[in-house]
Amino acid sequence: MQLIQVESSMIYAVGYDEESQTMEVVFNSGGVYRYFDVPKDIYEGLLAAESKGRYMRAHVIDVYACSKG
């Protein structure tokens, strides 16, 4: 999965696998999470969001199943 570094106080980088609809998020704290069954438009919305942290809280965290890895 190709990770894209983003400008955010919360997130270091994000990646997306379209085939499995898995989104990987590397947080600035060092945590790495994989979110499952994430539609591509949610991933694209995260990349486009002015506040990545606010977008994550509103649209991803506690919405999609995830694993820490």
Please count the structural domains in the chain.
Answer: 1
Helices (runs of H) and strands (runs of E) counted in the chain: 2, 5
Report the alpha-carbon distance of residue 12 to residue 28 in Å, rounded.
Answer: 5
pLDDT band with cut points at 50, 70 and 90 for residue 62: very high
Entry pTM: 0.94
pLDDT at 22: 98
What backbone phi and psi angles, to 5 degrees, belong to 54? -65, -40
| pLDDT tens profile 12-61 | 999 999 999 999 999 999 999 999 999 999 999 999 999 999 999 999 99
Parent domain of 12:
3-68
Say if residue 69's pLDDT is above 90: no
pLDDT at 42: 98
Query: 48: which residues sit within 8 A by CB, 6+ positions away?
Result: none
